[in-house]
């Protein structure tokens, strides 16, 4: 056990009391009056002693024999449970996330996810990726209502649609996500290794909230995927000659238009209209199906070898520019949507980008929105494939 941040012991007219401050007051956690023994126990907990060490100190303080240690330890545990119930202590043991009879499962690539939440959301967004149970890399649990207590930390991302808070190692090693009220989410808590997700939703959960929640869960997925060597790049993709070809670029650069041209001219299936996930398997890059696909509504559940990544730019004439190794790596890294909220996470993305440079075809294609653009790119790929 360890004391939760936001409490201080003060003597009020000679009586020791635990007083909350900051977020703990906002969470309506009450003050607690201590007797002399409880005061000693609190001080020893703050020093990092375990229950046996505390019991020995108390037995020595009150002159009881060593045979009383087990009984004293039981009293200490009961007192700690009281402090836990008030939200004054935190259990240092990691949370155990286990499946229930209601848990459903879905998988993309090597990432298996346990989903303990509304069936309507699972069936609408994840059912096509459903799999059998077993060891999972991420557990998602839904909760009704606002969390009883909040964890604060340092804000690392903030815009009009999301705030991400890093709680730091001293507050549970979580990312806390907050969203606009119309999302129907009070907050989402994700362990930094992506293994566990707790999402607190408003009640009743309205149908219009479902898409927002699906969108929010993407952030949790990206964390887990990155930790397991899977990286997501903002791109539209097609299936051509047995491989996935990704077309990427800033918003408005024409990736949707270009893949649509391929589909219309050559009947090439569009795999995903907005996001593609890549990992290295047996030394080669592979793409996997992903339920998140932006507003396109187009996705696949299948996996394919990666043929190449083509970065698009607007131009009056179609021109293919070959890139240097550093230009390729930088271009890939810039288009990744995998988290880069810290130097360590940025390095993960950079390592992946540098790794993939020599494993797949990457180029820059300055092009028009006319059918000839798809034709020119197809001819380039055909020559590449021999």
CATH code, domain with 309: 3.90.228.20
Residue-wise pLDDT for 11-26, tens only, equals 999 999 999 998 888 8
| Total domain count, the chain | 3
Long-range contacts at 352-357 (CB < 8 A, ≥ 24 apart): 352/229, 352/231, 353/328, 353/329, 354/329, 355/280, 356/278, 356/280, 356/285, 356/332, 357/325, 357/328, 357/329, 357/332
- pLDDT value, residue 337: 97
pLDDT, mean of residues 209-223: 97
Domain that holds residue 150: 104-227
pLDDT of residue 289: 96
Q: Are residues 355 and 308 in the same domain?
A: yes
Q: How many helices (H) and strands (E) does the chain have?
A: 10, 22
Domain shared by 32 and 135, yes or no = no
Task: List, for residues 356-383, the tens digit of each pLDDT value.
Answer: 999 999 999 999 999 999 999 999 999 9
Question: Which region holds residue 63: left if phi is over 0, alpha if psi is between -120 and 50, else beta?
Answer: left
Say if 98 falls within a structural domain. no
pLDDT band for 251, please (50, 70, 90 cuts): confident
pTM of the model: 0.85
Residues 32 and 49 in one domain: yes
Domain check: are 68 and 23 in the same one? yes
Last residue of a domain, one of 227, 259, 284: 227
The reply to whether 132 and 119 lie within a common domain is: yes
pLDDT of residue 96: 65
Average pLDDT over residues 298-325: 96
Average pLDDT across the chain, whole number: 92
Same domain, 132 and 76: no
Q: Answer yes or no: do 84 and 188 share one domain.
A: no
Q: What is the predicted pLDDT for the residue at 142? A: 95
Helix (H) or strand (E) holding 30: none
Residue % of the chain over a pLDDT of 70 = 96
| DSSP states of 48-109 | T--HHHHHHHHHHHHT--GGGHHHHHHHHHHHHHHHHHHTSEE--SPPP----TT-EEEEET
In a domain, 297, yes or no: yes
pLDDT confidence tier of residue 338, bands split at 50, 70 and 90: very high
187 and 292, same domain (yes or no): no
Mean of pLDDT values over 82-110:
80
- Under 8 Å between Cβ of 350 and 335: no
Last residue of a domain, one of 41, 66, 90: 90
Query: What is the rounded distance in angstroms from the CA atom of residue 218 to the CA atom of residue 212?
Result: 10
Asked if residue 341 belongs to a domain, the reply is: yes
What tens digit of pLDDT does each residue of 112-125 get?
Answer: 999 999 999 999 99
For residues 167 and 132, membership in a common domain is answered with yes
Structure confidence at residue 381 (pLDDT): 97
Are 329 and 316 within one domain?
Answer: yes
218 lies in the same domain as 239 = no
- Whether residues 317 and 377 fall in one domain: yes
pLDDT in tens, 134-178: 899 999 999 999 887 788 889 999 999 999 999 987 656 899 999
């Amino acid at each position: 056990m360890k004391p939760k941040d936001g409490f201080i012991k003060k003597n009020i007219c000679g009586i020791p009391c635990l007083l909350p401050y900051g977020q703990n007051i906002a969470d309506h956690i009450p003050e607690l009056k201590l007797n002399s023994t409880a005061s000693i126990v609190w001080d020893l907990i703050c020093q990092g002693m375990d229950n046996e060490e505390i019991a020995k100190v108390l037995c020595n303080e009150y002159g009881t024999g060593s045979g009383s240690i087990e009984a004293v330890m039981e009293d200490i545990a009961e007192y700690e449970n009281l402090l836990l119930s008030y939200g004054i202590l935190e259990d240092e043991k990691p949370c155990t996330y286990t499946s229930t009879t209601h848990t459903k499962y879905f998988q993309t690539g090597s990432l298996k996810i346990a989903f303990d939440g509304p069936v309507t959301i699972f069936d609408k967004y994840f059912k096509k990726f459903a799999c059998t149970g077993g060891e999972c890399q991420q557990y998602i649990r839904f909760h009704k209502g606002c969390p009883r207590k909040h964890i604060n930390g340092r804000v690392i991302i903030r815009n009009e649609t999301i705030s991400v808070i890093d709680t730091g190692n001293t507050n549970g090693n979580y990312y806390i996500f907050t969203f606009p009220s119309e999302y129907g989410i009070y907050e989402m808590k994700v362990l930094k290794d992506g293994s566990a997700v707790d999402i607190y939703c408003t009640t009743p959960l309205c149908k219009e909230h479902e898409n927002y929640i699906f969108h929010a869960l993407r952030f949790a997925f990206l964390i887990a995927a990155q930790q397991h060597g899977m990286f997501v790049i903002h791109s539209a993709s097609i299936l051509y000659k047995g491989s996935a070809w990704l077309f990427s670029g800033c918003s408005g650069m024409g990736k949707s238009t270009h893949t649509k041209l391929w589909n219309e001219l050559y009947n090439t299936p569009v795999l995903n209209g907005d996001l593609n996930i890549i990992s290295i398997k047996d030394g080669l890059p592979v793409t996997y199906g992903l339920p998140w696909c932006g507003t396109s509504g187009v996705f696949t559940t299948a996996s394919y070898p990666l043929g190449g990544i083509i970065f698009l730019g607007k131009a009056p004439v179609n021109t293919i520019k070959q890139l240097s190794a550093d230009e390729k790596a930088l271009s890939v890294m810039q288009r990744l949507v995998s988290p880069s909220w810290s130097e360590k996470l940025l390095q993960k993305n950079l390592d992946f980008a540098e790794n993939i440079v020599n494993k797949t075809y990457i180029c820059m294609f300055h092009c028009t929105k006319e059918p000839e653009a798809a034709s020119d790119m197809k001819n380039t790929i055909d020559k590449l494939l021999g």
